[in-house]
Amino acid sequence: MKNKVVFIGMPGCGKSTIGRLVSEELKINFIDMDNYIENMTSKTIPELFEQGENYFRDFESLACRELAKEGKVIISSGGGVIKRTENIDVLKEESFIIFIDRSLEELLGDVDISKRPLLKEGRERIIKLYEERYELYRLCADKIIRNDREIGDIVNEIKEVILDNLEMN
């Protein structure tokens, strides 16, 4: 039985916030993949993207391979982790993947583009990424959770899913 949870979804869908809350309630370690990559490289995500998206994606793939070896943990992935099938293949082996599905309208209203390198072009870029990625998120997910209600209700639903499907005790 799997002992890791990986949250996937668009930037601003709630992966990190929900992941932290679930990890606190279940008393399981939480890792934000972007923070992990920043610690690994001693560079910020925008600095890595300055070298090109593929440069960043190479570190993201390395992070996936390293995090796949972790014990019981909850991981918030970067929004583009699904762009490389090798990432999903590695993560799926040991992890239960949950897609945090948030509507495009809510994403457009909430996302702080200043901290997200791929979104600096604004609304049009968010729409394009959503159209490119949405079906990939759905295909990769073991479970889809809609982020369209109170966060406490979402956290409780995810806790039930984890306790029913994973070896986290």
Interatomic CA distance for residues 90 and 115, integer angstroms: 27
Q: Which residues of the chain have pLDDT under 50?
A: none
Does 57 carry a binding-site annotation? Answer: yes
Domain spans of the chain?
4-162
Does 16 carry a binding-site annotation? Answer: yes
Measured CA distances, 115 to 11, 12, 44 (Å): 10, 11, 10
The pTM of the full predicted model, rounded to 2 decimals, is 0.91
pLDDT for position 103: 92
pLDDT for position 120: 56
CATH fold of 4-162:
Rossmann fold (3.40.50)
Residues 6+ away with beta carbon under 8 Å from 58: none
pLDDT for position 20: 98
User: Tokens 């889809």 appear where?
Assistant: 144
Strand partners, 73: 4, 29
Does 102 carry a binding-site annotation? Answer: no
Does 116 carry a binding-site annotation? Answer: yes
Does 153 carry a binding-site annotation? Answer: no
Does 133 carry a binding-site annotation? Answer: yes
Q: Are 106 and 35 in contact (CB under 8 A)?
A: no
Does 109 carry a binding-site annotation? Answer: no
87-92 contacts: CB < 8 A, separation 24 or more? 87/60, 87/61, 88/140, 90/64, 90/65, 91/4, 91/6, 91/64, 91/67, 92/140
pLDDT for position 94: 86
pLDDT for position 169: 57
Cβ neighbours, 10 Å, residue 106? 15
Does 79 carry a binding-site annotation? Answer: yes
pLDDT for position 127: 86
pLDDT for position 108: 76
